[in-house]
């Protein structure tokens, strides 16, 4: 089966990830914060919307759900009970959803919000992780209704995926995250190169996403909290009670809040 994954841009920096079945011209959208760009794209491509998956309840991720349900009456909405939408399938950690026979597993990855989930879709043996606002390329989400401990545990869980897993965050924050990372690890040449590439792509209107987990391990300081270079970089800006990864992770999020 041929499933193509396409980002639809929304607001200023959101991506509505869209799964497209080229064989039957059907589509699934993830986190449609706006309906208009989705409708415009699907109509231009001659696609029928059959399902919506949501990762969390923030308006820029669910704001277009109701309008899309009205516009495409056969749409099947997949969501957690706390995502504030009218769902047809209520999911939780360990649930499975299907994309034309390809299975996606639902993972709880709280922290940004308490009920944040990810969808881990397996296509031809490769995993595709739609991680919403938990993990960004080079960064992580702010803590709102979850806790920093939950966010740290969610990062550990995502870090256990296969290295070739493709990660699909919901925002174009890559360049700014790389600039923050270089304030912590100024000698990280892989991160410096990633910043240059992200800047060029963003200026050209080209998404910097998806990225592999292997890449993120090299450039995302929130996945590198046990590295001496990260620990020393944090200590240069903030006093740490200890060098434990959670302590470093918490300090990094605090520094990023004010960056």
- Is pTM beyond 0.95 here? yes
Closest CA to 15 of 213, 192, 152, 209: 209
Alpha carbons 144 and 246: distance in angstroms, whole number = 18
Residues 6+ apart with CB under 8 A from 242: none
For residue 105, is pLDDT > 90? yes
* Structure confidence by residue, pLDDT tens digits, 126-184: 999 999 999 999 999 999 999 999 999 999 999 999 999 999 999 999 999 999 999 99
For residue 24, is pLDDT > 90? yes
pLDDT band at residue 1 using 50, 70 and 90 as cut-offs: low
3-state secondary structure the chain: CCEEEEEEEECCCEEEEEEEECCCCEEEEECCCCCHHHHHHHHHHCCEEEEEECCCCCHHHHCCHHHHHHHCCCCEEEECCCCCCCCCEECCCCCEEEECCEEEEEEECCCCCCCCEEEEEEECCEEEEEEECCEECCEECCCCCCCHHHHHHHHHHHCCCCCCCEEEECECCHHHHHHHHHHHCCCCHHHHHHHHHHHHHHHCCCCCCCEEHHHHHHHCHHHCCCCHHHHHHHHCCCCCCCCCHHHHHHHHHHHHHCC
- Mean pLDDT for 6-23 is 97
Give the domain ranges of the chain.
Answer: 1-90
CATH superfamily of 1-90: Ribonuclease Z/Hydroxyacylglutathione hydrolase-like (3.60.15.10)
Q: To the nearest whole number, what is the mean pLDDT of the chain? A: 97
* Structure confidence by residue, pLDDT tens digits, 29-77: 999 999 999 999 999 999 999 999 999 999 999 999 999 999 999 999 9
Per-residue tokens: 51? 């399902």
pLDDT band at residue 253 using 50, 70 and 90 as cut-offs: very high
Residue tagged 């990830």 (tokens)? 17
**pLDDT value at residue 2:** 83
């Amino acid at each position: 089966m041929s499933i193509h994954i396409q980002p639809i841009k929304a607001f200023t920096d959101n991506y509505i990830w869209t799964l497209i079945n080229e064989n039957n011209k059907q589509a699934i959208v993830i986190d449609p914060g706006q309906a208009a760009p989705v409708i415009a794209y699907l109509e231009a491509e001659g696609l029928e919307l059959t399902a919506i998956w949501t990762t969390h309840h923030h308006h820029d991720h669910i704001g277009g759900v109701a309008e899309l349900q009205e516009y495409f009456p056969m749409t099947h909405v997949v969501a957690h009970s706390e995502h504030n939408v009218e769902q047809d399938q209520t999911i939780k950690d360990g649930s499975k959803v299907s994309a034309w026979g390809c299975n996606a597993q639902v993972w709880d990855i709280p922290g940004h919000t308490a009920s944040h989930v990810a969808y881990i879709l397996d296509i031809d043996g490769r995993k595709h992780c739609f991680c919403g606002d938990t993990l960004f390329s080079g960064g992580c989400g702010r803590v709102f209704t979850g806790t920093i401990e939950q966010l740290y545990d969610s990062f550990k869980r995502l870090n256990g995926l296969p290295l070739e897993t493709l990660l699909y965050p919901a925002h174009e924050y890559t360049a700014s995250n790389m600039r923050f990372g270089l304030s912590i690890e100024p000698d990280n040449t892989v991160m410096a190169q990633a910043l240059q590439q992200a800047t060029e792509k963003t200026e050209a209107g080209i998404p910097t996403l998806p990225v592999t987990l292997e890449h993120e391990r090299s450039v995302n300081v929130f996945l590198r909290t046990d590295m001496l270079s990260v620990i020393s970089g944090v200590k240069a800006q903030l006093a740490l009670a200890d060098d434990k990864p959670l302590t470093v992770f918490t300090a990094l999020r605090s520094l990023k809040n004010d960056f």
